[in-house]
Amino acid sequence: MRRRALLSLLAGAGVAGFAGCLGDGTASPETTEATAGAADESTETASATASSEAGDLPLVVDTVDARGSSAGEVRIPAEGTPTVLDLFATWCAPCVAQMESLRALHDEFGDDVAFVSVTNERLGGGLTMDDIRDWWAEHDGNWTVGHDPDSDLMRAVRANGLPYLVVFDADGSIAWTHRGLASEENLRAAVEDVA
């Protein structure tokens, strides 16, 4: 009987985890305030509490030698520059869709705003750094891409699903967050507020 209960619990956790990838736009009320959005997505803005308790920011993350990115390290948020942080995974279908609006906004704001996409996927078990580079190239990424296999960055910004976007102002405070697929219009408005 215990085994059946454990299997049910694990199955439920798996479904909840997958739903987080799809991004239904919900978040814990103590870290975000929901504002109006499209029926299938909601926009979230960071409250003052979330900004002051965002974790151990700034963080330094390893970067990947890929198109628009070079091997090394990047500070998140960038010092003295508004920053758009995109947390993604190569297995996440909404993360692929999010790349379209990120590319458009990078083309528009890339000279004034730092763009960084970071995956927390662990290498091994069939996933290599070349797989991440290939995914990046296939989806036309052309800005800094980072690798954070210990999920330090996800914890620091309290990400609760993928894709997860964070817009930081030039002072490094969180100005806007969004879990799930964000519309280009909503992301643009968040970037314009800090640019």
Predicted pLDDT of residue 185: 98
> Residue 20's pLDDT is what?
47
Model pLDDT for residues 152-191, shown as the tens digit of each residue: 999 999 999 999 999 999 999 999 999 999 999 999 999 9
**CA pair distance 103, 87, nearest whole angstrom:** 15
Cis amide linkage into residue 94, ω under 30° from 0:
no
Q: Is the pLDDT of residue 132 over 80?
A: yes
The CA–CA distances, whole Å, from 24 to 36, 137, 163 equal: 14, 27, 11
SS3 13: helix
Q: What confidence score (pLDDT) does residue 108 get?
A: 97
Cα dihedral 89, 60, 67, 71, rounded to 10, equals: -120
Give the C-alpha separation, 66 to 132, whole Å: 9
- Mean local confidence (pLDDT), 140-160: 97
Full set of structural domains in the chain with CATH: 64-193 (3.40.30.10)
5-58 confidence digits (pLDDT tens) = 444 444 444 433 444 454 433 333 233 323 333 333 444 443 333 443 457 899
> Is the per-residue pLDDT at 133 higher than 70?
yes
Which residues are within 8 A (CB) of 152 and not within 5 positions of it... i.e. 6 or more apart? 56, 59, 61
Nearest alpha-carbon partner for 160 in 147, 178, 142: 178
Summarised one tens digit per residue, pLDDT across range 72-113 is 999 999 999 999 999 999 999 999 999 999 999 999 999 999
